[in-house]
Homo-oligomer: A and B are copies of this chain.
Amino acid sequence: MEEINNVEVVPCTESDYLKPFRVHYNQVSSVSVLIFNTTSHCFILVKQFRPAVYMSEWERIKTQTPQSTEKAEKEAAEAPAQEGQATSEDDSSSQWPPASVGVTYELCAGLVDKPQLSLEEIARQEVLEECGYDVPVSKLKRITSYRSGVGVTGSKQTMFYAEVSDDNCVGAGGGEPCEGELIEVVKVPLHEAMTFAYNERIPKTMGVIFSFIWFHNNMSPKYKISTNV
């Protein structure tokens, strides 16, 4: 790696893999939060419709052979996460897959778009807006940070852990409709967490999988829970 010394940013004129495009916003960094409710012993996740995931599935389905499409549709119909499945009367299902294929389970998360706030303060706001829990900044524990989307955004993500109780629940969450967020708050019981993490039929981000395992390794003894890996 030592040979890379003089870096300049020049127009991207030719590449077999990335075609030039302009991104009109800066996604410098983001935060995500693993929320554990100590009253109900549940993890609090958000379930979101993601247009990019939907388009990715649409691309995949339309390039598949009829046999594999059938298999994928059968799998989708059986998957516990696939609610809102189009019925057989829905003519559009032959053109567009059901919205459910674009739904993913994710950690509560948000962009770092307020320079005057600390990462912890931004994480606190996201927990309140998306999940309805009012948790003091002091209860946010930093888990780690990493690079995400190294091929596209390269942004730095910082992950936190927040313990909440039913007493901290002050609203329904669901995000800010004016910001285009349509979020469903879902609970995953602690004793189901590891099965959930490794169930590939449940569409989720790596942040969910990693953070459940982090909890299993670092927090489970505190809650005297035996979870099967």
Contact = CB atoms under 8 A, between A and B. Distances in A.
Interface stretch (A33-41, A122-130, A164-172, A204-212): A204-212
Nearest to A86: B5
A217 to B, nearest CB: 5
Contact of A84 (B5, B205, B216): B5
B63 A115 contact: yes
A150 B47 contact: no
A147 B179 contact: no
Q: How many copies of this chain sit in the oligomeric assembly?
A: 2
Interface in A184-210: 184, 197-198, 200, 203-210
Interface string A140-161: 0000111111111111110000
Contacts of A210: 206, 209-210, 213
Given A84-B2, A209-B146, A154 B7 contact: no
A148 B21 contact: no
B22 A21 contact: yes
Contact of A205 (B6, B15, B25, B146): B146
